[in-house]
Structure 1
């Protein structure tokens, strides 16, 4: 969907922009260095790079917004010819949210917790659309339906806290689209979305850009999403552009060492190995040196790279690359190196779930006082899984399938209404976290999807890491500082982060701190709730390697929840597929991914994106997610492309056992494994 450069209008224009902050020594330290790029009507540009590379800073600067402490050192940013750094607040109010929309990475930053979803979207329509008020309600429902939210009327009546993280993100997207923007800035907009919803949302964004001429600047770590939506890709490193060109050239055969490292960091369904993590870390602001900023991490660097900064120069294939040795770049491999697969695990169990049922609906106060029994519909039901020492179990399924709910139950945050949870040698695990002793608390650690929900904004990183180290191991003084620094090094952060507050970190950096804090307890079971969703691909690869190392060294067990099926495949020994809180399939990673048997698993795998602009996911145009399962029969019956009749509507699917513990819940008798 390349724009016609001769007829399109420049919507966003950035010219020689440098942004920085004042360091402790008094000098200005650059965060962005001499950035120049433009975006035309109907064009989509992807900004990619590791956390801290300047992607979000650049996108926000296009709106005329700078985080506290940042200043424009030189250059300009224009929207439709308007100098965005020369406007007053009233002018910004006329532009932002309407003509120029933003979808933030963290939907919690854009949703008001005390207002219902429908009221928040109506407010966006009132401020930024030309619709008459009598049409607001209908438009709210249309927008919620466009972003594939189930039962839009019911969703509109809910508060944000009553929605999953993925559902909140879709509401934020609907709010941004309410103003029918001329340009849309998207900062990791699909991070919290499941694979099918992400694929459909990306199709929606592509269609909007094509049909309305809306320009898009798409910031993402997900190169599969970038490949699906963007015409051009801009790769950033240490605050500057190191590679720019058409998506096909940049993503299929990158012409810069850093871009090749990013591509090798991505887990793929076709791979049988963990992705390759980039060695080292990006330089801190002001520490890039006189030569190439990437020199310390580059496999082909020479003395010239250490002493001379390369220019962003055009190449014969049409790309622009900042490299002294473009002719040698393609010698760098694009694949991972550590083989994965089913390992020989000990027979001892780490955790057992038996007939677990969980509900968010609790009996009312009067019912509890009178001791009356109430009928509670289970959000999650019939979950029986045994996890061995050192095993990783992946939980996959769309938003609302019950993955995070199961983790909350195991961690004691949401006690089950039925069933039994045992830890290790048939030791009963108290259902409520307040009934657990310090040993149980140390053994079972939960890492949340959104680090803002678990990191105290008033504490430094040093104080955050000190809590488990003091509580469980009694560390103090220099030993405490040394162990804290070691934990940060394990998750690819340096000791200079210890004095920072969470607000001074990027989204990916905050998630790494949350991972480090969980590992500080030296747990036996780690519950990972979308812990890599906010990480850039190179750090994600490093965290996957870290998880794998800890598992091998300490027999640590994991339950790993993720929407990224390639990440789950790379790390997991077994996979459980969930739909509407019910198990559809359970088996080894090789069986679930290699001999697809359940129709729902087939739909999930068909929607997985690849970092290739020529790849097209398999999507069912009429497939619509549901808010709740049917009252009887198979929970997937209304969406199943292989439904066989009334038996699917009336009778719960039977359990079918195949070789090597592969289990499928389905009425079809022609399944293969």
Structure 2
């Protein structure tokens, strides 16, 4: 990590032409350097310019953007001065890109082998006869099981983690000197994410590659990066060694980001950053962060700060770097609104089983056994004002259970009942309007669930008309009240989804769910694509609405720290079966099932000194075993044939904490303590 920079960005300004015809800046005189073998993390809220900066390193600007000034020097050449032919040799060859959504980056109609061959043809000077062997070698490097079989598959036949590994393999095809990574692990479960980050770190070390890692997840940055550069409103406000920045950040904004992150050991909600970053149209007078800064003075309002030395080898854009270190530490926010133990029942699932794969005619004719159910034996209750968290890796059945509760998937067997004992019809189309009103769902991606052609007012009007018959002024007034509840305001009524940020869209989705006055809200990964400050604000909003209306939530997330912050109880799922369930405090403080221990051991927190405890194999199971414990094939403490043949018994640990495992509870807890100590 010495010598001249491989990537050297100097005073880069990028902007676009607004409706008034004036050029509005997106990046303001940003400097960035990365040497061979070095990993740099770029962090900041949505809209801070992270992805724009990373793509500019490849000489690429999104439609409508223009370079106003500055240089991007890669390996001695200005990428913006290269011809199209010269630039094509750099992109994908010398400089690889791993995008956020590998599923969209891969061509769905081509087998994986053909896509890797295309990357080799474009970026490698190799004879075509060697492509097959080279493709196998690349898939082996990224630790994909049975690479020969993977080459024959289409992208939709792979899991999210496998797709991401294929994208990494394609980026490595040209043997690049540097990799640009734009949120490559967003949406992946904690164990898959941890294994992929370790893979990237090992590959970078083995090849002496530089990495520029764009992420809003500071735990990810702590895991893989040597240095951190913090962007705010398109300019660098802090840069320095990862350990120094995450331990003692020398800028108030970085401190605010760290305070917005939920932690495994805390039962309180994280603090959300107040206010919003300035838009590109805002005149640059003084410090851009001043309107949101607790220590801002008149000087901050009128004079733009320069980059100056801060604590522990950091450079900070702040007038008072010495005072930042004395700002009050801590990140705990409001206390969680908890439900009472005697709260009335609002939903019950009894022995729920859901099957995606049904035996065909020939299988039924020949008496072949039916494949194991995707989800099986799910029995749980939900009380008024309670939040139940569902956690587990991809494919564990979390979203499947939500869809069944919402009436989008019919269970193969079992019963879903409301609190009064009324059985709900399997499908939403068969449910009465009052039953539909009581259960609402918020989806992961608001872009897929909000009609882009409707205004926010029209979106909120639909449930208000359907369930309450509101019209005209009464309808608009109620829609405005809902927006105030989610802290947006009536002036958003006439905007369309395309005019909103990601956090604002998700708030509109929350408002639409609450427009029906539901008893139960189903949340499916609703914070996975949000930056940490917006995520903290959404969690705080859900907690407030829960206390105000007594709404019950079923909250699905890959992020176990988010589930810890918001949930009263947690159910841990593997292959559609419950492994462990109980009060969140008990499950997190004393995880007893080996799978729960594996999940918690893979959680990344913004601590560079965190010790990794990856207890589960880096493997993907496409279906549950026909018999025995669902976790048997990956369990590090498996006990002989009993785990393969018999369903694990339920062991009571007190206060509703239940563990499904053959190993006696006392021994399980001893094994868990040994794992933590090691």
Following the alignment from structure 2 to structure 1, what is the Cα–Cα distance between the partners of residues 160 and 617?
24
Check 1:56–1:365 CA distance in 2 against 1; reply closer, same or farther (3 A cut).
farther
Q: CA deviation at 1:594?
A: 1.3
The question of whether the paired residues in 2 share the 8 Å contact of 1:42 and 1:215 is answered with: yes
Q: 324, 329, 353: which one pairs with 1:333?
A: 329
SS of the equivalent of 1:649 reads: helix
SS of the equivalent of 2:570 reads: strand
- Of 189-198 and 324-333, deviating more is 324-333
Equivalent residues in 2 for 1:166-245 (5 A)? Answer: 166-245=161-240
Q: CA deviation at 1:528?
A: 1.4
Q: 45, 66, 76: which one pairs with 1:71?
A: 66
How big is each residue's C-alpha offset from its partner over 1:77-112, in whole Å with a ceiling of 9 and x where there is no partner? 232233233345444433323322222223343133
Matched, 1:353 2:349: yes
Q: 598, 610, 628: which one pairs with 2:593?
A: 598
Following the alignment from structure 1 to structure 2, what is the Cα–Cα distance between the partners of residues 132 and 484?
64
Equivalent residues in 2 for 1:343-492 (5 A)? Answer: 343-362=339-358, 375-459=370-454, 463-473=458-468
Matched, 1:589 2:606: no
Match of 2:650 in 1: 655
Match of 2:536 in 1: 541
Q: 604, 627, 630: which one pairs with 1:635?
A: 630
Following the alignment from structure 2 to structure 1, what is the Cα–Cα distance between the partners of residues 248 and 418?
48
Following the alignment from structure 1 to structure 2, what is the Cα–Cα distance between the partners of residues 149 and 509?
38
Q: 237, 260, 264: which one pairs with 2:255?
A: 260
Q: 309, 312, 319: which one pairs with 2:307?
A: 312
Equivalent residues in 2 for 1:126-141 (5 A)? Answer: 126-130=121-125, 133=128, 136=131, 140=135
The question of whether the paired residues in 1 share the 8 Å contact of 2:463 and 2:512 is answered with: yes
The question of whether the paired residues in 1 share the 8 Å contact of 2:237 and 2:317 is answered with: yes
Check 1:637–1:613 CA distance in 2 against 1; reply closer, same or farther (3 A cut).
same
The question of whether the paired residues in 1 share the 8 Å contact of 2:13 and 2:29 is answered with: yes
Q: 294, 302, 321: which one pairs with 2:297?
A: 302
Q: CA deviation at 1:246?
A: 0.7
- Of 309-318 and 616-625, deviating more is 616-625
Following the alignment from structure 2 to structure 1, what is the Cα–Cα distance between the partners of residues 493 and 65?
21
Following the alignment from structure 2 to structure 1, what is the Cα–Cα distance between the partners of residues 486 and 165?
30
Q: CA RMSD in A?
A: 3.0
Match of 1:11 in 2: 6
Q: CA deviation at 1:170?
A: 4.3
Following the alignment from structure 2 to structure 1, what is the Cα–Cα distance between the partners of residues 316 and 103?
37
Following the alignment from structure 1 to structure 2, what is the Cα–Cα distance between the partners of residues 181 and 504?
38
Following the alignment from structure 1 to structure 2, what is the Cα–Cα distance between the partners of residues 315 and 502?
40
SS of the equivalent of 2:379 reads: strand
Following the alignment from structure 1 to structure 2, what is the Cα–Cα distance between the partners of residues 426 and 579?
28
Q: Which segments of 5 or more consecutive residues in structure 1 lack a partner in the other structure?
A: none
SS of the equivalent of 1:608 reads: coil
Match of 2:604 in 1: 609
The question of whether the paired residues in 1 share the 8 Å contact of 2:345 and 2:381 is answered with: yes
How big is each residue's C-alpha offset from its partner over 1:171-192, in whole Å with a ceiling of 9 and x where there is no partner? 4344333443322111111111
Q: CA deviation at 1:582?
A: 1.2
- Of 63-72 and 573-582, deviating more is 63-72
Q: CA deviation at 1:545?
A: 0.6
Check 1:654–1:40 CA distance in 2 against 1; reply closer, same or farther (3 A cut).
same
Check 1:88–1:55 CA distance in 2 against 1; reply closer, same or farther (3 A cut).
same
- Of 529-538 and 59-68, deviating more is 59-68
Match of 2:672 in 1: none
Q: CA deviation at 1:642?
A: 1.4
Following the alignment from structure 2 to structure 1, what is the Cα–Cα distance between the partners of residues 461 and 82?
44
Following the alignment from structure 1 to structure 2, what is the Cα–Cα distance between the partners of residues 255 and 74?
28
SS of the equivalent of 1:615 reads: coil
Match of 1:555 in 2: 550
Number of positions where the alignment pairs a residue of Structure 1 with one of Structure 2: 666
Check 1:238–1:137 CA distance in 2 against 1; reply closer, same or farther (3 A cut).
same
Q: CA deviation at 1:117?
A: 4.2
Q: CA deviation at 1:439?
A: 3.3
SS of the equivalent of 1:375 reads: coil
**TM-score, length basis structure 2:** 0.90
Match of 2:24 in 1: 29
**TM-score, length basis structure 1:** 0.91
Q: Which segments of 5 or more consecutive residues in structure 2 lack a partner in the other structure?
A: 670-678
Q: CA deviation at 1:614?
A: 1.5
Following the alignment from structure 2 to structure 1, what is the Cα–Cα distance between the partners of residues 528 and 508?
14
Q: CA deviation at 1:643?
A: 1.4
The question of whether the paired residues in 1 share the 8 Å contact of 2:286 and 2:302 is answered with: yes
The question of whether the paired residues in 2 share the 8 Å contact of 1:167 and 1:399 is answered with: no
Following the alignment from structure 1 to structure 2, what is the Cα–Cα distance between the partners of residues 505 and 98?
36
